[in-house]
Structure 1
């Protein structure tokens, strides 16, 4: 079995389409098709269900993708080990939820000290980021702490504790009125959304309308315009609250207290670039310049 076959298989599984995978890999489509067929012949089993809209993994394909991810990750890790030195170099891929208020300081401090590291940042919701770290798509990620971040294959570092608040526009309102407003949330898998759902469940409230919005900016802009209510860290909006642009409503600690943690794989070789990133996190915990005055 050629390692390149696994790279191609992994990309087709990700894109669910031969043409898109070929474009990403910069291969001709016929070459990708031939490689997949050869892999299926070698393993004597179909790896994809093919249909008009694309391709999905068969049960056997799902088994193989697990091994392919691990093998490819180990090869990449081997390259990092061979190239690694005390002075960080190379690529470091980090994920984050959108509301890590300290992140600009962390990134700035790290970049100034380790300019040779090619640092990339991916945003998403907690559930997706945890999955990407576990499946070797990211070196580490900032997520909201929960039972999934305590996965046995992960190690986590507490970054700080947040207080979640209900945020409405500046029109006077009560908690009972808030319960009837449309909820503006990140997509499923968001830790803040899970906490809000707990509170609503315990209050025996079924929301009349839940609106999933893609970015923090869109959510906040929609709150300011009176569209609905959201549930996010107080640190993100306290300057707006101080200027009278919004109202923040507190809930009991059971629903409002939540940790932001940094996770990475427990068994993976920890490169100098990742080690120094974790060191930078710990240094920034002592910094008192947060939150940013212009957010």
Structure 2
């Protein structure tokens, strides 16, 4: 019997939907069903009744629920008791945040850095595989506590070799529609530039394009301090984004924001 299966069971009790649990824990929906079936096989009973209204606890499921909650609580108690002396901090962040703020921590033996999408980071935090996540969008989750926010200034970024006027450059943005840098860019570009927008799938591709082509993008000012091939295009835009640092509510570890190289 695996702890992750117990966590999935508990979430399914709360949400009554495999789709909702899959979204919350960043699993494929079919995996949620498989894990529950595996748990039921191990226990030799059905824990849920499958109805048109969703997954409803069976009588044996109701009997098992307090044991499941106690197992999760015991795990958290053990983790808090013994990992208080563990100096290793597990921090998850998106690609841009890892590149701009966490590079120095990769070689620090006190930290483990996980670079994932926001959805994947939420799943890792839910299953206690990391201690903190740093993301650039607000997350409304009752299991999370917001530790603090950091405001980051956004600027037009270009290659040092790019001498073209702003109107003559193509504009690169993330294909991820939830990306705040994409959203700010689309808010600020004019109609003439709208036809010159290029969508890319990763920050590395975007940076590579800017370094080699006449391409610009609205990104955190921090980026030009960690990449000497890029510079600020002299344009007085007033644009900002926020970084959000979250942990689970029962996490007693203290996050020191001085590690972020702000």
The TM-score normalised by the length of structure 2 is 0.63
Residue of structure 1 aligned with 2:95, choices 90, 95, 98: 98
Asked if structure 2 preserves the Cα contact closer than 8 Å seen for 1:185 and 1:230, the reply is no
Structure 1 residue runs of 5 or longer lacking an equivalent are 23-30, 48-57
Q: Secondary structure at the match of 1:250?
A: coil
Inter-partner Cα distance in structure 2 for 1:154 and 1:175: 41
Q: 1:246 to 1:81 in 2, by over 3 A?
A: closer
Report whether the alignment pairs 1:269 with 2:251: yes
Inter-partner Cα distance in structure 1 for 2:187 and 2:122: 21
Report whether the alignment pairs 1:80 with 2:68: no
Structure 1 partner of 2:15: none
1:1-295 counterparts in 2 under 5 A?
A: 6=6, 13=22, 14-17=27-30, 32=38, 35=41, 41-45=46-50, 59-60=54-55, 71=69, 74-85=73-84, 87-88=85-86, 92-100=89-97, 101-106=100-105, 108=107, 111=109, 114=110, 119-126=111-118, 129=121, 133=125, 138-144=130-136, 148-149=138-139, 153-158=144-149, 161-169=151-159, 170-178=161-169, 181-185=170-174, 187-200=176-189, 203=190, 206-214=194-202, 216-226=203-213, 228-238=215-225, 248-253=233-238, 255=239, 257-265=240-248, 267-270=249-252, 274-275=253-254, 278-279=255-256, 281-282=257-258, 284=259
Q: Secondary structure at the match of 1:79?
A: helix
Asked if structure 2 preserves the Cα contact closer than 8 Å seen for 1:161 and 1:260, the reply is yes
Question: What is the CA RMSD across the aligned residues, in angstroms?
Answer: 4.6
The count of corresponding residues between Structure 1 and Structure 2 is: 234
Asked if structure 1 preserves the Cα contact closer than 8 Å seen for 2:151 and 2:243, the reply is yes
Inter-partner Cα distance in structure 2 for 1:73 and 1:250: 53
Residues 43-84 of structure 1: per-residue CA shift (max 9 Å, x gap): 22169xxxxxxxxxx8438xx9xx9xx957645323313424
Q: Secondary structure at the match of 2:167?
A: helix
Q: Secondary structure at the match of 1:173?
A: coil
Asked if structure 2 preserves the Cα contact closer than 8 Å seen for 1:165 and 1:231, the reply is yes
Q: Secondary structure at the match of 2:146?
A: strand
Inter-partner Cα distance in structure 2 for 1:75 and 1:212: 45
Q: Secondary structure at the match of 1:77?
A: helix
> What displacement does 1:222 show?
1.5
Asked if structure 2 preserves the Cα contact closer than 8 Å seen for 1:165 and 1:234, the reply is yes
Q: Secondary structure at the match of 1:269?
A: coil
Asked if structure 2 preserves the Cα contact closer than 8 Å seen for 1:97 and 1:143, the reply is yes
Residues 142-169 of structure 1: per-residue CA shift (max 9 Å, x gap): 223x5x25877422234x5432222234
Residues 159-190 of structure 1: per-residue CA shift (max 9 Å, x gap): x5432222234332233334xx2423262332
Residues 83-117 of structure 1: per-residue CA shift (max 9 Å, x gap): 244x226x7532112234331334555x3xx4xxx
